[in-house]
Amino acid sequence: MTASRFANLLRPELADLAAYVPHTGDFEIRLDGNEAPPLLSPDARAAVAQALAAGALERYPDPRATELREAITSHVGGTSDEVLVGTGSDEVIALLLTALSQPRAGAEAATIVTPSPTFVMYRLSAAARGIRVHEVPLDDRWDLDVAQMRAAITSTNPNIVFLASPNNPTGTRMSEDRIRAVIEAAPEALVVLDEAYVAFAPASVAHLRHAYPNVALLGTVSKIGFAALRVGWFVGPAELVREIDKVRQPYNLPTPSQRAATLVLCELRAEIERVVAHVVAERERLGRELARLGFGVPPSDANFLWVETKRPAKDVFEGLAANKILVRSFHARGGRLANHLRITIGTREENDRLLEVLTRWA
């Protein structure tokens, strides 16, 4: 049956959305997903495998994810009643949008404000719920444009403002004074600071949660080496966590994920720091080499580079793909994103191979 059979039943917004389908296919080197390179030690890997296998198969997971939420507080501070966990921050974003979707006085629909470009799930998840999305272009250094953000907030009176710092896909950190200015311009909204990539950055803005009552944080284990677990979190005011918890499915996080993520956050800190140090060192090396080849590479505080190509990005992307290397291309987005690739930092060998192929496309 075609979707048209159900046209009257479906949300009209779905007609304009496409399902999120990551690239599959036969690639030897995948630098498209902002995952960590596989550098975990055999001992750490064995400990995670043991945690994954523990727990009764017949029983539902802990619906409150008590140990995991405790582990998250030991990682980011706060108390466990300020923490909500989901199957990746993707689920947490969806829960936030479901719970905080009451149209503001006089508005037809709830609204979110985000910079652009940024992580696509804010927009997709909002659109699927009939929530309006107001996007404000980042400035020419890929930092927040405070005047435009302020204007957007004043005119749309949003429910949520999403700020990712470091930002995906640009890798840039937003300046703290600009983040503060945006928060102060939106005292009636929830401002969500998404720190998915904070492990690779020299500083965090998590402390702003204590300076402003309308600020919350998002975090994840996906970028530091554990994307397979699908564990992400929200840290915010307990009164808000209690409400969002009402739209969460009781057993949203499988036992293996809860156990393994708890182990990761409590006992594998040194391992993670080692992998992160590798990524940061390789990011700096790759950035320097790409700049030497003539690519535009703004400073990145994440585990990927935002690379401007001189030749059409589509050609460079296809040239890499022909060599079995997958990166993310933004050529289809047009405008000032058109000649950009987002390249995840891989192992040293993967990065060398990437450089070798890119030499031909400089």
Residues binding ligand PMP (CB under 6 A): 34, 88-90, 119, 164, 168, 194, 196, 220, 222, 227, 232
Nearer to ligand PMP, 90 or 143 (CB): 90
CB 129 within 8 A of CB 247: no
> Any residues with CB less than 8 A from the CB of 151 and at least 6 apart, and which?
none
- CB 214, min distance to ligand PMP, A: 20
- What's the closest the beta carbon of residue 53 comes to ligand PMP, in angstroms? 23
Least distance in angstroms from the C-beta of 194 to ligand PMP? 5
* Residues in Cβ contact with 28 at an 8 Å cutoff, skipping those fewer than 6 apart: 324, 325
**Rounded-to-integer distance, Cα 308 and Cα 328, Å:** 12
End-to-end, the C-alpha distance of the chain in Å comes to 48
Structure tokens that stand for 231 in this block: 């564990």
| In the complex, minimum distance from the CB of residue 55 to ligand PMP, in angstroms, rounded to a whole number | 22
Q: How far is the CB of 27 from ligand PMP (least distance, A)?
A: 18
Burial 217-235 (b: 16+ CB within 10 A, else e): bbbbbbbbbbbebbbbbbb
Q: Which is nearer to ligand PMP, 23 or 310 (CB)?
A: 23
Report the SS3 class of residue 103: coil
Q: Of 127 and 164, which CB lies nearer to ligand PMP in the complex structure? A: 164
CB of 302 to ligand PMP, least distance (A): 8
Question: In terms of CB distance, is 152 or 196 closer to ligand PMP?
Answer: 196
Nearest residue to ligand PMP, scored by beta-carbon proximity: 88
Q: Are 87 and 228 in contact (CB under 8 A)?
A: no
Nearer to ligand PMP by Cβ, of 155 and 249: the residue is 249
Q: Are 246 and 63 in contact (CB under 8 A)?
A: no
**CB closer to ligand PMP out of 164 and 320:** 164
